[in-house]
Amino acid sequence: MDLDWEKLVKRYVWNDERTPYFTRVANLTRRQAHYELLAYAIFMGVASGVIAIAAPSNWVSLYAFSVCCAALLLGMTRDPWAALWCAFAPLAALAGFALEGFHPGLETAEKVLLVVAALAGLAYSRRVVAVARAWPQLPG
In order along the chain (140 residues), what is the average pLDDT of each group of 10 residues? Answer: 65 64 88 93 97 91 97 97 98 93 92 97 96 93
Q: 49 vs 41, 60, 67, 82, 136, CA distance in Å? A: 12, 11, 8, 16, 28
Q: 113 vs 52, 65, 107, 108, 119, CA distance in Å? A: 21, 24, 10, 9, 10
Q: 63 vs 25, 36, 41, 67, CA distance in Å? A: 29, 24, 16, 6
pLDDT for residue 20: 75
pLDDT for residue 54: 93
pLDDT for residue 70: 98
Mind spelling out the 3-state secondary structure of 16-71? CCCCCCCCCHHHCCHHHHHHHHHHHHHHHHHHHHHHHHHCCCHHHHHHHHHHHHHH
DSSP code, position 136: G
pLDDT for residue 83: 98
pLDDT for residue 56: 82
Give phi and psi for 66, each to the nearest 5: -65, -35
pTM for this prediction = 0.85
**CB burial of residue 12 (10 Å; 0-12, 13-18, 19+):** exposed
pLDDT for residue 14: 62
